[in-house]
Structure 1
Amino acid sequence: MAVAEPVFPVKRGTNISHWLSQSSRRGAERAQFFTEKDVQFLAGVGFDHLRIPIDEEQMWDEAGAMEPEAFALLNSALDWCETHGLRAIVDLHILRSHHFNDEKRPLWTEPAAQERFFQCWRDLSSQLSKRSVDRVAYELMNEPVADDPNDWNRLVAKAVGEIRKLEPKRVLVIGSNRWQSTDTFDQLRVPAGDPNIMLSFHMYEPFALTHHQASWTGIRDYKGPVHYPGITVRAEDLEGLPEAVGRAMRSHVRHVDQEWIAQRLEKPLQVAKSLGLQLYCGEWGCYNKAPEADRLRWYRDVRALFEEHGIGWTTWDYKGGFAVVDGQGRPYQALIDTLLD
């Protein structure tokens, strides 16, 4: 099932995580973490675009004033992308009123928080609107998590309306509720008749493989084997484990292969086709504590599915626990080859 012709033609990219988002680095340390040399490297190995997460706390102070240094870095990154022939997606990743892993998310209930969200986009537009709509896209917000999917749909309608007053032709990336899950894709509503929208999902399934021993998850204490393809976690591997660990892992005892993953894609593919909109995977990746052979087999299978259906993608991430370079900045060649050969 092919999706619509791309309005923003991107195929293979990666996320520039932990730079202007999810990081305490500031000053020279932040500036040196990601430079033009990184963009040159990424273009050289074969990526065609970058997704650049940004956080409200880095880009704006608590009074809502734009932080000049952070915006200068963002603009520099977009300049580097232009120089080296890469497109870019600017992703508003975390708001003070919404973090995808927090229990309290006032964005859904407080009008002032929603107005602050809209103002973030007005400010971003004031900085970025002169950039070519063919080279830079905007992602409204990363991984919305609303108890009621219509809370997200209503916010989408209002945010798109605000941006369209300023930039009628800018490509806007919009994801599904609850961590951009494929399962909730049919609940997503976007403004009708706007062709400059790209629908986005994230792919981290099977979670027990892709987040094996990840410290921020509820399955972090399971140190036993995981497998792909096949039964991700075997029942016998849970024997003798502490009750809490076994309980957290039991739902992951299932057979997973490429066909199983393909079934996860059916809903977003159907929605994108019905709306005539481009479909995109803004994040997918496997944490580096999963066994390498299983990890690379998973990457190979998921990439093949994306290519079969014409889905552009960005891996999570460039530098980090899922990275295409190691902690010393050395290329992880086995993964690069799997992604880009």
Structure 2
Amino acid sequence: MSSGCTETKDYTFQRGVNISHWLSQNHGDRTYAADWFTEEDVQWIANQGFDHIRIPIDPKYWMDGSGGLNEEAIVPFDQASEWAKQHGLGVILDMHYLPGANFHTKENSLFTDPELLEEVADFWSLIAERYASAGPWLRFELLNEPVAEENKQLNPVMARLLDAIRESNPTRVVYLTSNKWSSFNTIWDLRLPDDPNIALTLHFYEPFPFTHQRTEWTDLKPSMPQVDFPGIVPDLKDLLPAGHSWLSLTGQHINAENSVDPKFEELAKWAKKNAPNLEIHIGEFGAYNTATPESIQNYYAAVVEASERHGFGWAMWDYQGGFAIRGSNNLPTTAMKGIEEGINASVELSTVNP
């Protein structure tokens, strides 16, 4: 990837990085707004050739408890945004959690409680008003990885939250998403508003037994067999309950051709038929560091190449967490090498097939 620039008026939001566990997911020793993330980090990201950062936000810190905003808690986001602008990066304000919409706990009352929806809409109104004068460097993401019981329940919620934002931000780009953790598989039930300034963000962590193998927070515990990419999914019946969807992957050959490309082809076909002018952004994807370095590199290369080939923007997960592109030695990881490989492969393909 080419080095980043310090000034630009064209915010493309094509190649990005998630700044995880900084202003959201602050459990354990992960302190909110800890000083591990500084301008030097933003500069490093820009120097790798990325054009935007996605900053997950936990609104419990931003609400003051009386219907207003906790300005002190928002200062770190503003500071990071200034750094980003200085180094030519766009910023996505990702509302990673919302009251009644928590992908970790599968809390989904936001999709069935009209009063709660109005409270959340009021919160978004405050955020939108606060940033109404911000330039196109800033984009909003309505909510992250919703888990409504029924896919169709998501549509009116997003429409209401978008209306709240449009009261003060009529032209700002706002990302909507799909149900069941922003899945490719639920796009068919989306009913997108007639709005020229919306975009669609989706997440891709398939095949999950590879990307999240040996993780404490899933059913794929550290005792499971190693899964490589490319490779074959082992029998996981001793780890998973009978009937679990991941068991259907047992014995499958996983690689770019079988596990990534068909999913992206299907998404591209859906977009061409249903929303040909819609900007699509793969807002999260990645493989946890419990996979082998070679497999991690192969996976990032495959997803980036597929995204670039279809013209989808993307933001990899994550900067310096368990999926990191920058190691503790401050050097690029194999994930970063995979990203570069994927970009180069896409460029070569476009040269051969212009």
Answer yes or no: same fold by TM over 0.5. yes
Aligned partner of 2:247 in structure 1 is 250
1:291-330: per-residue Cα shift (whole Å, max 9, x none)? 111121111111111111111100111121111123x362
AA matched with 2:129: S
Spell out the pairing of 1:1-341 with structure 2 (5 A cutoff).
9-24=12-27, 30-133=33-136, 135-192=137-194, 194-231=195-232, 233-235=233-235, 243-245=238-240, 250-253=247-250, 254-260=252-258, 261-273=260-272, 274-275=274-275, 276-326=277-327, 328=328, 330-340=330-340
Counterparts in 2 of 1:333 and 1:230: CA distance versus 1, 3 Å: closer
**Residue in 2 that maps onto 1:4:** none
Q: Is the 8 A contact 1:31 1:73 kept in 2?
A: no
Cα distance in structure 1, aligned partners of 2:110 and 2:336: 38
Q: State which drifts further: 115-124 or 102-111.
A: 102-111
CA distance change for structure 1 residues 158 and 307 in 2, over 3 Å: closer, same or farther? same
Give 1:173's aligned amino acid. Y
- Describe the shift of the 1:287–1:256 C-alpha distance in structure 2 as closer, same or farther (beyond 3 A): same
Q: Residues of 2 paired with 1:130 and 1:174: CA distance?
A: 21
Identity of matched residues, %:
35
Q: How much is the aligned-residue C-alpha RMSD, in angstroms? A: 2.3
Q: Distance in 2 between matches of 1:308 and 1:295?
A: 20
Deviation track 1:51-75 (CA, whole Å, cap 9, x = no partner) reads 1110111211343431222211111
Deviations 1:139-186 (Å, cap 9, x if unpaired)?
000011111112110111111122112111100111111101001111
SS of match in other structure, 1:205: coil
Q: Displacement, 1:259?
A: 2.2
Q: Output the CA distance in 1 between the equivalents of 2:95 and 2:20.
A: 12
Q: SS of 1:290's equivalent?
A: coil
Task: Kindly indicate whether the alpha-carbon contact (under 8 Å) linking 2:54 and 2:92 is maintained by their aligned counterparts in 1.
Answer: yes
SS at match of 1:32: coil
CA, structure 1 residues 337+291, in 2 after alignment: closer, same or farther (shift >3 Å)?
A: closer
**Cα separation, partners in 2 of 1:41 and 1:145, compared to 1, 3 Å:** same
Cα pair distance change 1:64/1:219, threshold 3 Å = farther
In structure 2, give the amino acid aligned to 1:150.
K
Compared with structure 1, are the counterparts of its residues 309 and 244 closer, same or farther at alpha carbon in structure 2 (3 Å cutoff)?
A: closer
CA-CA distance at 1:20 after TM superposition: 0.8
User: Is the 1:299–1:338 Cα contact (8 Å) retained in structure 2?
Assistant: yes
SS at match of 1:113: helix
Once the two structures are TM-superposed, the CA of residue 10 in structure 1 deviates from its matched residue by 1.9
CA displacement, residues 64-91 of structure 1 (integer Å, 9 cap, x when unaligned): 4312222111111111111000011111
Cα separation, 1, equivalents of 2:175 and 2:20: 18
Shift of 1:246: 8.0
Encode CA deviations 1:77-118: one digit per residue, 9 max, x unaligned. Answer: 111111000011111011232101214322122222211211
CA distance in 2, matches of 1:67, 1:329: 35
SS at match of 2:267: helix
For residues 218-269 of structure 1, the C-alpha deviation after alignment (integer angstroms, 9 at most, x for no partner) is 22244312021132x234xx5xx8x345856633312222122111123432
Asked if 1 retains the 8 angstrom alpha-carbon contact of 2:17 and 2:316, the reply is yes
Assess, with a 3 A threshold, how the Cα gap between structure 1 residues 153 and 27 changes in structure 2: closer, same or farther.
closer
Mean Cα displacement is larger for which, 55-64 or 33-42?
55-64
For 1:90 and 1:178, locate their aligned partners in 2 and report how far apart those are by CA, in whole Å: 20
TM-superposed deviation, 1:31? 4.1
Mapped partners of 2:201, 2:86: distance in 1: 26
Aligned residues: 326
Whether contact under 8 Å (1:201, 1:268) holds in the other structure is no
TM-score w.r.t. structure 1 length? Answer: 0.89
Cα offset for 1:24?
4.4
Task: Determine the C-alpha separation between the residues in 2 that align with 1:223 and 1:206.
Answer: 15
Cα separation, 2, equivalents of 1:226 and 1:28: 32
* Shift, 1:209, TM fit: 0.7
- Please give the TM-score of this superposition, normalised by the length of structure 2: 0.86
With over 3 angstroms needed to count, the CA separation of the structure-2 counterparts of 1:27 and 1:75, relative to structure 1, is farther
| 2:205–2:286 contact (8 Å) kept in structure 1 | yes
Deviation at 1:270, TM superposition (A): 2.6
Change (3 A) 1:162 1:257: same
Structure 1 unmatched runs, 5+ = 1-6
Higher relative contact order (CA 8 A, sep 6+): 1
Distance in 2 (CA, whole Å) between partners of 1:25 and 1:220 is 20
